[in-house]
Amino acid sequence: MGASASKPTETKVFTPKTNIELGPGLVGQLEQSIETDYARSQYTEKAFEAEVSKKLDRIAKEASEKFDQTIKDSLLTKDSEKDKTISSQLLDGKLTKLQQDLEKRESKFVKVPEEVTKTKSEIVECLIKNKERPLNCWDEVKKFEKLVNQIN
pLDDT higher than 80, residue 75: no
pLDDT higher than 90, residue 136: no
Torsion of CA 147, 148, 149, 150, to 10 degrees: 50
pLDDT higher than 60, residue 81: no
Ramachandran quadrant class, 2 (left: phi over 0; alpha: psi -120 to 50; beta: rest): left
pLDDT of residue 15: 80
pLDDT of residue 122: 92
pLDDT higher than 70, residue 92: yes
Q: How distant, in Å, are the alpha carbons of 1, 12, 22, 29, 51 from that of 37?
A: 36, 24, 21, 16, 21
